[in-house]
């Protein structure tokens, strides 16, 4: 009775599906690993090099595969059975984490080796982001799409919070090498949960055409669907200017706030908690119709929040701004994904999510740019510039793109 009462709540409507509950748990375990990786990579690279720019290079290496594999990941998500593909990805991520653990435990590795393995992890991320979002839609259907995608993103944020705290503590206690063994264990947990999920009755039949032909069809899909293309451009702009604030978190932790790896872990957890709050609010808007307008409003707020970092040297103020900024970040990102999937046929949703992954794959430009700006202007100055540009572009786009603004 209590369970049924919870599922009747607007924010929890997708949990009425057994497979979604299991998939949510799988996403949580996977995100526990990515949360640990995010903290470890930033701290490890900055600790080895002392360079904000090299931290940006490492972040770019992690995100570059999303750009180069975006089209391929979408094609494969439409071509393969999505649950089995996710199982393969989770096991591959476990293998990459195991190799990183061995490299770190056998001595201090050259920075290039770390960056190569970070890029390999980015390849796994490109495929899992595309397929997890498309598979969420498979399970819950169009009626619950915004709620399901929001709740799935909440699982990512919750896992990221736990992973960040665990990572900071493990790095301080036993070092990053042993921490990567925990990363591998979390990916294994994600794979084991996927094994007990049944085949969704809503899953569209995979497009069993040759991969090359599938890719050609993907390019035709992008050329013919102007709405998706515009959403891709907006997503890329937000990614390049907005999400790169995460790159500078190790720099803020070490040089502005003067906290150690455990402190960085807690700051990352605060960032994820802010995202969780934003997604919880968004999940309550299951049937909200003016999604396009809401997207522009939140993107503008995202930019304004980044500008607030320029005066956030005090720890408490920094924490408040960090949580608010990531609430906007996760909410607008989920709206981009929802609008992309809601405006294509079921059999092309993998391609739509591949378009989203391709769009966020533009992030390396932002990571390198914000690293360079931070070297020249400091971390606070870099985010002031990025935030002002993002807020300005979002306002202009809201005025100049009425069709996007009216999307439901």
385, 95, 110, 400: which is closest to 240 by C-alpha? 385
* Mean pLDDT across 285-311: 84
- Cα separation, 302 vs 322, in Å, equals 11
pTM of the complete model beyond 0.75:
no
Write the pLDDT tens digit of every residue in 169-212: 888 888 888 889 999 999 999 999 998 886 654 455 555 555 56
Measure CA of the first residue to CA of the last residue in the chain; give whole Å: 34
* pLDDT confidence tier of residue 10, bands split at 50, 70 and 90: low
Residue 293: exposed, middle, or buried by beta-carbon count in 10 A (0-12, 13-18, 19+)? middle
Average pLDDT over residues 122-128: 85
Could you confirm whether domain 9-197+209-405 is CATH 1.20.1250.20?
yes
The reported pLDDT for the residue numbered 367 is 73
- Is residue 341 helix, strand or coil? helix
Kindly report the average pLDDT of the chain as a whole number. Answer: 80
**pLDDT score of 406:** 81
User: Please, which pLDDT band fits residue 2 given cuts at 50, 70 and 90?
Assistant: very low
Convert the pLDDT of each residue in 329-356 to its tens digit.
988 888 888 888 777 766 666 677 777 7
Q: Where are the domains of the chain?
A: 9-197+209-405
Tokens of 93: 């991520």
pLDDT-derived band at 300 (thresholds 50, 70, 90) equals very high
Instruction: Calculate the CA dihedral of residues 386, 369, 325, 308 and round it to 10 degrees.
Output: -50
Backbone φ, ψ for residue 344 (5° rounding):
-140, 160
Q: Looking at residue 201, what is its pLDDT?
A: 45
**12-67, pLDDT tens digit by residue?**
677 777 888 898 999 999 999 988 888 888 878 887 887 777 877 887 788 777 77
């Amino acid at each position: 009775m209590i369970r049924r009462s919870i599922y009747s709540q607007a924010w929890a409507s997708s949990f009425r599906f057994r497979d979604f509950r299991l998939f949510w748990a799988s996403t949580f375990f996977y995100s526990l690993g990515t949360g640990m990786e995010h903290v470890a990579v930033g701290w490890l690279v900055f600790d080895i090099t002392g360079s904000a720019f090299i931290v940006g290079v490492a972040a770019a290496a992690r995100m570059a595969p999303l750009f180069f594999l975006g089209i391929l990941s979408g094609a494969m998500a439409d071509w393969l059975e999505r649950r089995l593909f996710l199982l393969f990805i989770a096991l591959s991520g476990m293998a990459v984490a195991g190799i990183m653990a061995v490299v770190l435990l056998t001595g201090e590795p050259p920075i290039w080796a770390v960056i190569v393995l970070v890029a390999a992890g980015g390849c796994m991320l490109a495929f899992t982001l595309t397929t997890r979002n498309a598979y969420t839609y498979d399970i819950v259907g169009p009626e619950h799409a915004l709620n399901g995608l929001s709740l799935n993103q909440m699982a990512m944020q919750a896992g990221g919070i736990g992973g960040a705290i665990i990572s900071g503590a493990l790095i301080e206690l036993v070092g990053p090498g042993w921490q990567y063994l925990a990363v591998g264990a979390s990916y294994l947990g994600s794979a084991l949960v996927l094994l007990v999920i049944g085949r969704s009755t809503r899953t569209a039949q995979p497009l069993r055409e040759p991969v090359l032909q599938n890719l050609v069809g993907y390019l035709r899909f992008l050329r013919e669907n102007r709405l998706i293309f515009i959403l891709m451009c907006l997503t890329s702009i937000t990614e390049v200017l907005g999400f790169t604030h995460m790159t500078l978190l190790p720099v803020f932790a070490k040089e502005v706030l003067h906290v150690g790896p455990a402190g960085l872990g807690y700051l990352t957890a605060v960032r994820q908690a802010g995202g969780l709050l934003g997604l919880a609010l968004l999940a309550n808007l299951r049937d909200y119709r003016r999604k396009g307008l809401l997207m522009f409003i939140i993107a503008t707020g995202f930019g304004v929040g980044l500008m607030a970092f320029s005066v956030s040297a005090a720890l408490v103020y920094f924490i408040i701004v960090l949580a608010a900024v990531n609430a906007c970040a996760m909410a607008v990102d989920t709206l981009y994904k929802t609008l992309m999937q809601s405006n294509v046929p079921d059999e092309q949703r993998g391609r739509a999510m591949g378009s989203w992954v391709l769009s966020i794959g533009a992030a390396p430009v932002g990571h390198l740019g914000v690293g360079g700006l931070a070297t020249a202007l400091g971390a606070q100055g870099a985010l002031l510039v990025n935030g002002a540009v993002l807020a300005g572009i979002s306002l202009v786009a809201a005025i100049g793109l009425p069709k996007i603004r009216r999307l439901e």
